[in-house]
Structure 1
């Protein structure tokens, strides 16, 4: 039983080059892919929650802190993704850098980051759908839109949207890319509509109490808003389906992340400028803010765009996790049947089915805020490992060709590491100095998956 058995750099590149996935993605596809995976629940739901509970109008600063940290991480991520263009993402990088056990644990972290993200976004999607239906005079019974913790049976719309998205992904990434592109354009149109509709109602007086809860809570808000940026890491998971991964991944990650950060800061400033931040703690804050200002048409358009936007985030999250676990199964750490590709649609349909089911159940049965925090914490752990690996590879693999090189890596990477560690600490420890509920859940999660690895190694002897 060798916990630290490593994969060689050359073997990963060779497997990626002969992988069975179709190479049909270009740079523009990846920019849309990134925008599809990033811009969604963050801007349409979390902006209101963070403004109301943590940051006030300084939600803009929270976005700048989270986005700036992510841009630093993205520079490191891009270097690794172009060095090792594999759909395994951080799982594979960890396998090469640290060995099998760390790769296994990082695979489990990706479940928290992406599977829980899809679940959380489905809850936000449900909220906007309910607001549109209510405007049309139709109300879904409360027992079917509330999770058990809130006194309901399940959030049925959240379950349904993940099931639909899973079905779309089942038919392969060619159709998924087209659908994602259409929904991204609708989503961006809704964001421009919000900007156009909100600007005339902006009142600087709403910014009078700019940091109402103190700067410490602004940072706490930033740690939660990491959830809004996690979609960019999915671009790395598409590497084996890129026509020119070294060029296209660089463009896709950096351009989509910079655009998303600018959009988030703009929307955060506008929404807190047209309504008092205390009124934004609901599941459809942007549409609500416009409705309060008698912009009902703009509110309806924004709600429609939000639904499209969150659909793309669900799609990209499930896409990413299905590709990562396809690679894990291909490596033999999971049953080989999980690496099966559909004979007609060329999709890893088994992993798509499994993770769509898990996400649908989580989204329909678990509270939104817990799901969002767990996903955000998973992303921060992912980023911490990424910046460590990029520095380690500079020493271990100094002569490997790098089509993109992280600038001043020994400044950028440590800065990203420290920022990510601090933001993770803010979520791990509650106000009383004890381990928070999400923190405990992650510790339990890692213990369980470690024990599963030990059982697998002892009884199956690395021959699944």
Structure 2
């Protein structure tokens, strides 16, 4: 029994599977960096900065982003080694399968399914709110029945459904088209963020930064646990390894560069944001636009709302991309139905998987009044980071001579620090979130024994 649960997929066999199924290798290092920025710069900066500053960290939110970046930085170096050594779809799921075994891989894959699905659904709902605010700004008012989920006074959140449907259609067309659209959106939202900083700096008041740490160090850590949602994008970059032109070189570039750029942007924005408005006033859904409006910069506030819509669109695009690639990898291994690993002969994308998962998430976003699930997404991401860090330590010991185009520096301390930092952030989350996560994992273990273990391709060899 134990041999079955811990059976590992040889790296050579995994690579052969990737060649056989033939996803299109068309992404460069710059494309991967922009994918990371597209996923990282979104809800975290346009939505969560306000609530995190007002209720968790105060002006010290910039330190929360530093703490989150440290945990991500250590994990990013670990991911970069795996992504260059095992350049396949599936991210943490695949890395765990070739090192720790099938059951741990299934558990982390099940974890990633939760992470990406909840992230997509909640961001779609947030996108709907910003989009409706833009429509109202030009005098268009949709009926409540079409803009709110049942239980919130409506029948369906139509904008949330529509954006998920459109994102799914774009992803099904091909990764090259997806990358181009993402790049255009990233340029737009970076321009908007630049405008925010440029306009806001003259309005900063040093008194707004006092007290700097009103909730103490525990508040800084709690803030990091909340805004960690902002950093899960680089995990999605690692799911693109099978579609990178030169994954051994480009994957480390995309993962590390996107994390560094986004961390600098987050710190700059949070310093300026808490400088132009008292942190106690920022517990709103659109903190950047709100703060600019408070200091009389109405035009810049409107532009920021447009940037938020663009930012959330690219987050949906990359998160949905990551979700479908995890499904694809698990299906190819037989742990999910084979239909999910079918590649369209023309677009060379798992179109069936994209459309099916996109429809399910669109329905959830349209009909379920999802509240405060960012923390559940965070615990799933942190768990994946911990598992990958353990896996790289294990692979270094069991296969020390395998070719590693990128090697995690300062071994074994880098993955150990990733484990410690991620564990500290998990500990900062509330008990209800942790129990929900445990329940989801327990359901996954049951499903493994009922279906996945019996249909595993590795088990039939």
- Identify whether the pair has TM-score above 0.5, normalized to the shorter chain: yes
* Contact 1:19–1:240 under 8 Å retained in 2: no
Is 1:422 matched up with 2:424? yes
| 1:139-174 deviation per Cα after TM superposition (whole angstroms, max 9, x unaligned) | 334454444465544433222211111111111111
* Contact 1:82–1:404 under 8 Å retained in 2: yes
Structure 2, unaligned runs of 5 or more? none
CA distance in 1, matches of 2:455, 2:116: 28
CA distance in 2, matches of 1:340, 1:19: 8
Instruction: After TM superposition, list the pairs within 5 Å mapping 1:166-315 onto structure 2.
Output: 166-315=168-317
Instruction: After TM superposition, list the pairs within 5 Å mapping 1:75-114 onto structure 2.
Output: 75-114=77-116
Structure 1, unaligned runs of 5 or more? none
Shift of 1:259: 0.4
* Contact 2:113–2:326 under 8 Å retained in 1: no
CA distance in 2, matches of 1:155, 1:204: 41
State the partner residue of 1:383: 385
Tell me how many residue pairs correspond in the alignment: 457
CA distance in 2, matches of 1:364, 1:191: 29
Once the two structures are overlaid, the 10-residue window that deviates more, 122-131 or 300-309, is: 122-131
Instruction: After TM superposition, list the pairs within 5 Å mapping 1:151-162 onto structure 2.
Output: 151-162=153-164
Shift of 1:19: 3.4
CA distance in 2, matches of 1:458, 1:411: 35
* Contact 1:131–1:284 under 8 Å retained in 2: no
Is 1:453 matched up with 2:455? no
Shift of 1:136: 2.0
Is 1:443 matched up with 2:445? no
- Identify which of 18, 22, 33 aligns with 2:24: 22
CA distance in 2, matches of 1:222, 1:82: 29
* Contact 2:70–2:421 under 8 Å retained in 1: no
Once the two structures are overlaid, the 10-residue window that deviates more, 277-286 or 317-326, is: 277-286
Q: TM-score, normalised by structure 2?
A: 0.95
| 1:2-30 deviation per Cα after TM superposition (whole angstroms, max 9, x unaligned) | 22221112211222244310111111111
| 1:191-224 deviation per Cα after TM superposition (whole angstroms, max 9, x unaligned) | 1011111111111111112222222122011011
**Residues 149, 410 of structure 1: alpha-carbon distance in 2 compared, 3 angstrom cutoff:** farther
Local SS of the residue matching 1:87: coil
* Contact 1:72–1:416 under 8 Å retained in 2: yes
CA distance in 2, matches of 1:352, 1:25: 19
Local SS of the residue matching 2:343: coil
- Identify which of 121, 130, 143 aligns with 1:128: 130
**Residues 375, 366 of structure 1: alpha-carbon distance in 2 compared, 3 angstrom cutoff:** farther
State the partner residue of 1:72: 74
Shift of 1:127: 2.2
State the partner residue of 1:330: 332
CA distance in 2, matches of 1:310, 1:194: 17
**Residues 355, 305 of structure 1: alpha-carbon distance in 2 compared, 3 angstrom cutoff:** same
State the partner residue of 2:63: 61
CA distance in 2, matches of 1:99, 1:334: 16
**Residues 54, 367 of structure 1: alpha-carbon distance in 2 compared, 3 angstrom cutoff:** farther
Local SS of the residue matching 1:123: helix
| 1:423-448 deviation per Cα after TM superposition (whole angstroms, max 9, x unaligned) | 11221xx3xxxx31x22221111111
Q: CA RMSD in A?
A: 1.8
* Contact 1:194–1:298 under 8 Å retained in 2: yes
| 1:198-251 deviation per Cα after TM superposition (whole angstroms, max 9, x unaligned) | 111111111112222222122011011111000101111111111110110011
Shift of 1:55: 1.1
Local SS of the residue matching 1:290: helix
| 1:320-359 deviation per Cα after TM superposition (whole angstroms, max 9, x unaligned) | 1111211111111111111111222221012112221232
State the partner residue of 2:142: 140
State the partner residue of 1:354: 356
Instruction: After TM superposition, list the pairs within 5 Å mapping 1:4-15 onto structure 2.
Output: 4-15=6-17
Is 1:318 matched up with 2:312? no
Q: TM-score, normalised by structure 1?
A: 0.94
Shift of 1:399: 0.3
* Contact 1:115–1:358 under 8 Å retained in 2: no
* Contact 1:338–1:350 under 8 Å retained in 2: yes
Local SS of the residue matching 1:370: coil
Is 1:3 matched up with 2:11? no
Shift of 1:184: 0.6
